[in-house]
């Protein structure tokens, strides 16, 4: 290192050429990554390797090759690290007959807290995830959103420095989503390192601009979401509109400068628009409906789902 170069900041979570195979199936493929404090979004379609990555980081899986370090130590077979890390797993495995409060107290005891400390910690996390009112009901009666809140509370019980959250917002309603996102943002502001997985770009983007994109076990991109979006935006997006008077809509659309092409498929109701400026296009849509005097009943874009984003990034 030359004297003018700044030394690299130590990473909180680090993967060094890490691979994990399940027999013939590859879960994570030669992945290197360094993550520091704050929220990092881990994005990828189903089967991308997100859960495998989180399980490697939390010591539930051993790397087949390469190395994983969390807070400077190897997580595999290192029970001591569990005091500093918390995991909100994707799957739901709670003792159904227990109350939420009882479950969290048990988790506190398992995390090494004494009786009194576990009781206090359970009360604290119940407040954090806004589950105090339902805390004395059995878990078996909880909705999906309440279960997600309880799972997150479980990850927070020992107030860990590093948090791994596997699809924590799946199955939550908009209110829970907002509250859980605020909670995660607040925890990050206090200096924690949080890795949150999701397959929905929008969700993660609301939480953080720092994202890791994975596909088929590989790291596809890592960095600021805007830079990654720029990459995506360089490709034409196909947006489908549906309405009873598609000809009126199409007649207006062909005159827009940000529309590169308009197709009218055989189904009689839809229009497929190609644009390189999807954000601007979406903003102008209400104006289109007004000017054309024709309602738009449905809008969707296959390009919004990550599968196609990956297709662009992997096979540009």
Ligand X SMILES: Nc1ncnc2c1ncn2[C@@H]1O[C@H](COP(=O)(O)OP(=O)(O)OP(=O)(O)O)[C@@H](O)[C@H]1O
Residues at the contact surface with ligand X, assessed by CB under 6 A: 22, 25, 27, 44, 46-52, 90, 199
Q: What is the 3-state secondary structure (H, E, C) of 155-187?
A: HHCCCCCEEEEECCCCCCCHHHHHHHHHHHHHH
How many Cβ atoms are within 10 Å of 39's Cβ, its own excluded?
Answer: 24
The answer for residues whose C-beta is within 8 angstroms of residue 57's C-beta and 6 or more apart is 13, 15, 68, 70, 75, 85, 164, 195
**Cβ at position 22, least distance to ligand X in Å:** 3
**Cβ at position 27, least distance to ligand X in Å:** 4
Q: Is 82 exposed, middle or buried (0-12, 13-18, 19+ CB in 10 A)?
A: middle
**Cβ at position 167, least distance to ligand X in Å:** 7
**Cβ at position 310, least distance to ligand X in Å:** 12
Which tokens in the block code for residue 183? 């909670």
CA 200 – CA 290 distance, rounded (Å) = 30
**Cβ at position 160, least distance to ligand X in Å:** 21
Contacts 24+ apart (CB under 8 A), 280-284: 281/237, 281/239, 281/256, 282/239, 284/256, 284/258
Which CB, 167 or 303, lies closer to ligand X? Answer: 167
Q: Is 52 exposed, middle or buried (0-12, 13-18, 19+ CB in 10 A)?
A: buried
Which CB, 90 or 274, lies closer to ligand X? Answer: 90
Which CB, 105 or 199, lies closer to ligand X? Answer: 199
Which CB, 14 or 167, lies closer to ligand X? Answer: 167
**Cβ at position 196, least distance to ligand X in Å:** 13
* CA-CA-CA-CA dihedral for 39, 60, 83, 214, to nearest 10: -10
**Cβ at position 89, least distance to ligand X in Å:** 10
Which CB, 175 or 314, lies closer to ligand X? Answer: 314
């Amino acid at each position: 290192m030359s004297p003018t170069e700044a030394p690299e900041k130590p990473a909180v979570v680090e993967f060094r050429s890490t691979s994990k195979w399940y027999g013939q199936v590859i879960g994570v493929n030669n992945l290197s990554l360094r993550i520091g404090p704050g929220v990092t979004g881990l994005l990828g379609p189903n089967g991308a390797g997100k859960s495998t990555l989180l399980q490697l980081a939390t010591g539930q899986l051993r790397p087949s090759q390469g190395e994983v370090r969390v807070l400077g130590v190897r997580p595999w077979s290192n029970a001591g690290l569990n005091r500093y890390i918390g995991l909100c797993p994707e799957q739901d495995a709670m003792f159904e007959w227990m109350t939420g409060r009882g479950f969290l107290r048990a988790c506190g005891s398992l995390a090494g807290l004494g009786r009194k400390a576990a009781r206090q910690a359970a009360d604290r996390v119940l407040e954090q995830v806004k589950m105090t009112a339902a805390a004395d009901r059995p878990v078996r009666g909880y909705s999906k959103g309440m279960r997600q809140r309880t799972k997150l509370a479980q990850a927070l019980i020992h107030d860990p420095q590093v948090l791994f959250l596997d699809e924590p917002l799946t199955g939550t309603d908009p209110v829970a989503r907002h509250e859980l996102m605020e909670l995660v943002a607040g925890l990050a502001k206090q200096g924690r390192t949080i890795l949150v997985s999701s397959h929905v770009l929008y969700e993660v983007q609301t939480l953080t601009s720092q994202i890791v994109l994975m596909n088929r076990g590989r790291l596809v991109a890592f960095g600021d979401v805007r830079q990654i979006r720029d990459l995506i935006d360089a490709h034409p997006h196909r947006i489908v509109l549906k309405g009873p008077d598609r000809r009126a809509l199409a007649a207006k659309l062909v005159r827009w400068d940000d529309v590169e092409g308009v197709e009218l498929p055989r189904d009689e109701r839809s229009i497929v628009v190609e644009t390189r400026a999807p954000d601007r296009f979406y903003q102008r849509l209400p104006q289109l409906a007004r000017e054309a005097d024709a309602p738009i009943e449905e809008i969707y874009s296959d390009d919004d789902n990550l599968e196609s984003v990956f297709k662009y990034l992997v096979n540009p």
